[in-house]
Structure 1
């Protein structure tokens, strides 16, 4: 009899397994594919490897600004893929060693929950006190005529190409679509984005989105919002996209199409329906303990339909295991940072202006542009700003960063939001000079018109 069987070895599952082992539980982790899940094998890490290629290439293209001359710039997509694969392999091996050192039994195969307390993997039945489902999500297949044509790829499949397409259409202007747009634009593709909603990155603060739209246009990326794809037709050597917009129809010939239209729960073959586990649009419903309606069965991460972020799944895995062990802990959902690896980066935590308005919160805004930051100027990366939102009592509600190294800068802001810090808790914290982090404290100071390095704002 095992204490816990975890189905899925992604960032939720393997982290939960390690925490369970630390707490003395006898754990089995089941994974049908490679450890690390979507994040490590087909998501966060592979795309960030390509993002690094794009970042370096972008810098190389601007060498004249640094008084450096080179003759030719050549990018090798096949070589970039090999580098990406090596990074992934190295990290997968690292997870294997972590699990081994924590004495966690790992079984490779397809798992099915036969009944509460019994999991079948391949031909083996495993009896257990508790089960955690951490099977994640998979790309959505959109109901578009011609989506099965050769050259129409999912976000998983585009990671395996070895040649840069001359032209790339991206269906979906969310996080995945926007990241790939910036990456392949830098690689040399002519990129066109189609988004059905009125805005790309619709979950973000609208001011950040407006500024990002300007920067995408400056990079040469074409963005079409409020656009419906009618069909994708196969021509002799290319693909033709027919779409409808408020301004009329669009017909565009491209070499490749990326479908980045969201994700759905990965529950096929688990036995969810047979067991009567409650779901909502296919996502598994859980309570504050991550328990389903079936005693002894829990679920975490993307499969529950919450915030589909690797770090959220990991934190949910830790908290779920601790709740099973009667340890009081919680996930601080009000302070979940989100990072988008566009060029430049976007990072956000807490409330946007729109959310503050929707909650009838009286708020104020502090801003500081990177163009006024000495480190950003010396780096030649002055696009963007830091935006801070606070209530009338000076409690920090949200922080939004568009600019260089936003993903690194957001951690300090996450602590502010998590601890519900007030401006007086933050002001007086000395930020080293010259650093990009100085923009954070200046934006906080600007909440009460005390910023030092920008002119006083008019009312």
Structure 2
């Protein structure tokens, strides 16, 4: 029986990063993956979605290009080609991950893995069963789409995010059930491409965990693109007939659409792993870990969505490094105080730390700095005046507690604030950093300065007026 220092189960952004990190430190490593390496993120999530998002963003800009003197009245959009491009991007990146694993000496086994006693893993591949031994095991099996039993998901008319990324024809109409980040990203993409989109969300607002000002900007764009948004509303029934789906929503209303996307979240993927037999404790379907990513079973670690701590690919990668360090004798602990995230709607939302609403709920005294894209020379040059940068800082000493950005390149801009928070910078100190002009990052500087009422390019912040005194 083959024995490894570390066996990683799952080849997503947590698993493959953990495997490479371990190999870089001289460990004998294997990775077990039942499908393609890259996991949900690369194959059925982040990457294919963002490839389509890139197309939607370009399409939106071309449609709005008249002010640049570019006329595109007879614009022709080929969704099938956009879908092919998406697949090509995914294929290229999957191949890249394969090469990274092989180049670092990681053995890859294809099949379904399950735990069978201390340091033992069973691998099933078609009719073949194999066994390996490992001093340490890292569970990185990710998550799967939530499938409510009340909704008849058939993969043809009623889809999850898996199936909608595989369609080759643009639907004329789409009902999105769920106004979280997955639902709103797809709503932005398909509405920009010409699909008539309706969002139904049970909660009082879409994107409930994001800054309210930022969400309002996204709502404006969605509505301008013709998206209908029903909040505080549930889908009571779905019926499919003759290639159409009739949805009955609360209040007795009915909608007829070509496709339905069920986007109500994801749940940890633990089925068939043999966790209970191995002594790995779970809670509400997720693997329980400590700050060092250790499970309740000796020599078994868990990272990523399967822990349900924060369902983000970059968090899984971060946790992978911690698990490897501790499996090889270290004592690292996870720190989630500074975790940036991005929602790829039109416009984008970037967020890190606490929102203004979070601070109010926690009873924290804060000062908030804001700066509008409309006041940014670069944003105006780009023709992207919609958006806002918001920096939230402690009232006492100005330490940055969080930031929310909505607008062009918010996904990139939020990284600067994350670095500042990691270094425990104050808003005043961030505002002192010289920023190149004209650029979008200048807005970060201005918002940070605005915390102390000193933003130069924000109107209404002047000092006391000088009074003329006439001497006798």
Common fold by TM > 0.5:
yes
SS of residue matched to 1:420: coil
Query: How many residue pairs are counted as aligned between the two chains?
Result: 456
- Give the drift of 1:457: 5.1
Q: Give the alignment of 1:416-435 within 5 angstroms.
A: 416-435=420-439
Superposed, 1:199-278 pairs within 5 Å as: 199-244=205-250, 248-278=251-281
Give 3-state SS (helix, strand or coil) of 1:427's partner.
helix
Partner of 1:440: 444
Deviation at 1:361, TM superposition (A): 1.2
How many angstroms does 1:71 deviate by?
4.9
The alpha-carbon deviation at position 149 of structure 1 amounts to 7.7
Structure 1 position 148, deviation (Å): 3.7
**In 2 relative to 1, CA 309–67 (structure 1 residues): closer, same or farther, beyond 3 Å?**
same
Shift of 1:268: 1.3
Residue 160 of structure 1 aligns to a residue whose secondary structure is coil
> Which one of the candidate residues 410, 416, 421 is aligned to 2:414?
410
Q: Greater CA deviation, 97-106 or 139-148?
A: 139-148
Are the counterparts in 1 of residues 155 and 163 from structure 2 also a CA contact under 8 Å? no
The Cα shift of 1:395 comes to 0.2
Q: What corresponds to 2:31 in structure 1?
A: 29
Q: Aligned partners of 1:63, 1:158: CA distance in 2, in Å?
A: 29
TM-score normalised by structure 1 residue count: 0.97
Higher mean alpha-carbon deviation, 63-72 vs 145-154, is at 145-154
Instruction: Kindly indicate whether the alpha-carbon contact (under 8 Å) linking 2:218 and 2:345 is maintained by their aligned counterparts in 1.
Output: no
Question: In the TM superposition, what are the counterparts of 1:298-313 in structure 2 within 5 Å?
Answer: 298-313=301-316
Aligned residue number for residue 395 of structure 1: 399
SS at match of 2:337: helix
1:137 maps to 2:139:
no
Is the CA contact (8 Å cut-off) linking 1:397 and 1:417 kept in structure 2? yes
Of stretches 95-104 and 266-275 in structure 1, the one that deviates more from structure 2 is 266-275
The residue aligned with 1:173 is 179
Greater shift in the superposed pair: 85-94 or 413-422: 413-422
Match of 2:467?
A: none
Aligned-residue offset at 1:150: 4.0
The answer for unaligned runs of 5 or more in structure 2 is 464-472
Does the alignment pair 1:18 with 2:24? no
Question: Which residue of structure 2 lines up, in the alignment, with residue 97 of structure 1?
Answer: 99
SS in 2 for 1:415: helix
CA RMSD of aligned residues (A): 1.5
Contact 2:41 2:47 in 1 (8 A): yes
Could you tell me whether the CA contact under 8 Å between 2:146 and 2:264 is conserved in 1? yes
> Contact between 1:242 and 1:250, CA under 8 Å: does it hold in 2?
yes
* TM-score w.r.t. length of structure 2: 0.94
